Amino acid sequence: MQDLAAIWQEIEATAVSAGLDPTKFTDTHREIAAQIVAFLQTPPLEPAEIEPNGWRSWLRRGKNGPDQRPSPIPLPPAPIIICGEPGTGKTTFLNVLDVVLRRTFNLPDNIQPVMHKGLYDYLVTKRLLNGRSISLLSVKKWDDLLHFYTWSRETHGLVAADRTAFIREVLRPMRLIFADEVEMVGYSPTLPILAQHGLLVVGSSNQSRFAQLEERQVPPHTYTFTGVDLRAGTPADAVVASDHPAWTIFDQVRQQPLERHEQLVYQLQRQEGALFLRLAFKTAVYAPLLENDWATFLQTLLRQPDEPLIFLLDDFSLEILRTDYNAIIRFVSLFDLIEQQGIGVLVRNSTAPAELSREALSHMKVTIHTARGVPEAIKVKTAVGIDRCISRIGQAGYKAHLIISQTA
């Protein structure tokens, strides 16, 4: 039996290294951890034999006549979903739980960067926490992965038995499925399928109602993180002034040879046990790279996955974003990747003070909502991305100073 107090101490220590402030943890955080630990301390349930029609079996539960035997199908574990506004540390907390609980209970992460089915491959961009890969994927990516194993390229049809085999052989030993973006309603049926096989799904969402889960008789346990920003640091922490020691790091890396990845020009320097990657900010947000593209690019740079990495965004200016909707989208994608990979970030502007604050970033949403020819749903999604960036920039700045202090 694992000691909950010792597990919680490890969660707090890992949270600090991940850029969270554990002093802001509440009883809700502890309750979530305790509920997951209690699940892991019980023997795995045997899954239902019939998966595709399982919904009807659950709906019939409790409708047996007095002389009928009760249904043998076990109740699936109710998903745990953390709700709240962007910036409240929901996904990062899941990252921490993923690392700590898998290590404590010796649970595998069977999702590899390349998954195989017969002669075909499916690529998975793994997220990192302090250089260690984690199992968390978005619900959409879990859905895509299940579809990869369900779809038969020979018959050009869905084979539920193939999906069942994949879940039982690959996913069930993991016990836990961590997922974000649960609000993507169209993918929610993925979660009941996983739950029916005895997996505990732990997710995060910006919403608080999950109609499809309730309709499928898998009502989740929901917890709400309030508006307190759990991430350590503020956007100003990422800004380097001319009298800051990190200013010289920018100058040193700027002397390195220019290198190119597609349309992205960059410079590299390894020093003090860390890799510094300098990018002209305008180049970074104009290059046609989104989240997966950035991840692929980084894989070509790092000598090993746990090598500390700091982005140096030079000539930083929010003016570049204020009139360019596509640049905003790429900016959001870049910081989604930065957060997922645990990268540190420093910014500077040699000709004027780098404007970087919560207020300045919030004003970006004005550009988003006034853009012409853009569907409203995309505007809303991008504005939510800016809210994420506001918190993630501060976390990335804090992370950069932490890396520098540890390698000095």
Residues in the chain: 408
Mind listing the pLDDT tens digit for each residue in 77-116? 999 999 987 777 888 889 999 999 999 999 999 999 899 9
> Domain of 31?
4-225
Question: Quick one: 146 and 167 in the same domain?
Answer: yes
pLDDT of residue 384: 77
In a domain, 198, yes or no: yes
User: Max CA-CA distance within the chain?
Assistant: 83
pLDDT of residue 53: 42
Radius of gyration from C-alpha coordinates of the chain? 23
pLDDT of residue 300: 81
Number of domains in the chain: 2
Question: Quick one: 213 and 354 in the same domain?
Answer: no
Question: Quick one: 253 and 392 in the same domain?
Answer: yes
Segment-wise mean pLDDT, segments of 10 residues, the chain, 408 residues: 86 83 88 95 70 40 44 76 82 91 94 91 83 86 91 84 93 94 69 90 84 75 79 80 88 93 90 88 86 80 79 89 81 84 88 76 81 81 79 85 79
Among candidate residues 192, 225, 258, the one where a domain is terminated? 225
Residue whose C-alpha is closest to residue 149's, from 176, 181, 124: 124
pLDDT of residue 201: 94
pLDDT of residue 408: 63
Question: Quick one: 219 and 244 in the same domain?
Answer: no
In a domain, 139, yes or no: yes
Distance CA 198, CA 172 (A): 7
Residue 83 near residue 224, CB atoms below 8 Å:
yes
In a domain, 230, yes or no: no
DSSP state of 258: P
Question: Quick one: 207 and 329 in the same domain?
Answer: no
pLDDT of residue 228: 66
pLDDT of residue 1: 58
pLDDT of residue 335: 85
Question: Quick one: 244 and 181 in the same domain?
Answer: no
3-state secondary structure labels for all residues of 153-166:
CCCCEECHHHHHHH
Residue 96 near residue 231, CB atoms below 8 Å:
no
Question: Quick one: 364 and 264 in the same domain?
Answer: yes
Among candidate residues 158, 191, 225, the one where a domain is terminated? 225
Among candidate residues 171, 201, 225, the one where a domain is terminated? 225
Contacts of 30 (CB under 8 A, 6+ apart): 8
Distance CA 230, CA 94 (A): 13
Question: Quick one: 164 and 278 in the same domain?
Answer: no
Would you tell me how many other CB atoms lie within 10 Å of the CB of residue 306?
A: 13
pLDDT of residue 177: 95
Give Cα separations from 388 to 206, 242, 346 (angstroms).
11, 28, 17
Question: Quick one: 294 and 393 in the same domain?
Answer: yes
pLDDT of residue 65: 44
Question: Quick one: 206 and 327 in the same domain?
Answer: no
CATH of the domain at 139: 3.40.50.300
Mind listing the pLDDT tens digit for each residue in 25-41? 889 999 999 999 999 99
322: exposed, middle or buried (Cβ count in 10 Å: 0-12, 13-18, 19+): middle
Question: Quick one: 175 and 206 in the same domain?
Answer: yes
Contacts 24+ apart (CB under 8 A), 372-375: 374/325
In a domain, 199, yes or no: yes
Question: Quick one: 123 and 261 in the same domain?
Answer: no
